[in-house]
Amino acid sequence: MSNGEVIIMRGPSGAGKSTWQRENAPDAHVCSADDFWLMPMIEASHLDKHSVPESKYPIVYKSGRWHEYIFNPASQSEAHAWCVKMFLVALKAGHEQIVVDNTNIKPWQYDHYVMMAQMMDYNVRIIDFQPVTIADINLCVERNQHRVPAETVRAMCCEFVPDERAELVFITGEK
C-alpha cells in the first residue's frame, strides 16, 4: 500500500507548472527551490493578497503574507540542497501528496526525488511541460514570473530532455 503521491513538475520557467499545481493539486505540500529566495516583506505584513505592495523585485503571496523573490545565482546549489532537505522532511512527515516544483530540465536533476519517493513507498508521477513550438517558448518567456532572462528561458526550452515516464501537459495549459 502506498504512502501517497509525489508529483515531479518539469518545464522551463513560465511553462505553467505552479499554475497547474494550484489547479490540480491545491492541497499538496510543495517543495520548490524558488522558496529559498523568498524574503518576507515586513512592511507589507498587514496587506492581504488583493493589496499588492510595490517592490523592485518580483513579489509572491505565500502562507498568508507577501514575499520578495530575491534570486542570487551564486546560491543555486544551496537552494537545491535546501529543497531536497525540505522534500525529505515532507516524506518523513507522511504528507499524502507532495509536489516538487522545479524546472527539472534533465533527468539527473530529479531522479534522486524519484528514488527517495519510491524508497518511502510513494507513487510517483512526472508531469512534463515540454516546449514543442516557438510559440511555446515565447509564451514561457512572456509569462515567467521570476524575471528569468529571455535567453535563459530559451536555453531551458532547447535543453529540455523528454522523459518517457512523464505525462505531457501542453505549455498552453491544455492536456
Q: Which CATH number goes with the domain that contains 119? A: 3.40.50.300
Which tens digit of pLDDT belongs to each residue from 82-107?
899 999 999 999 999 999 999 999 99
Q: Identify whether 87 is part of a domain.
A: yes
Domain count, the chain: 1
Strand partners, 143: none
Residue 23 is part of which domain span?
A: 4-33+74-168
Q: Is residue 43 part of a domain?
A: no
Which pTM does this prediction carry?
0.81
Q: Where are the alpha helices (DSSP H) in the chain?
A: 17-24, 76-93, 111-119, 134-143, 150-159
pLDDT tens profile 134-145: 888 888 888 877
Q: pLDDT tens, 2-53?
A: 789 999 999 998 888 888 998 999 999 999 888 877 667 766 566 566 666 6
Question: Would you say residue 48 lies in a domain?
Answer: no
Grid coordinates given for 12: 522551463
Residue 62 maps to a domain: no
56-74 pLDDT, tens per residue? 666 666 667 676 766 677 7
Q: Which residue has the higher pLDDT, 149 or 51?
A: 149
Instruction: Please tell me which residue, 160 or 175, carries the higher pLDDT value.
Output: 160
Residue 129 DSSP SS3: coil
- Domain membership of residue 13 (yes or no) is yes
What does the pLDDT read at residue 132?
A: 83
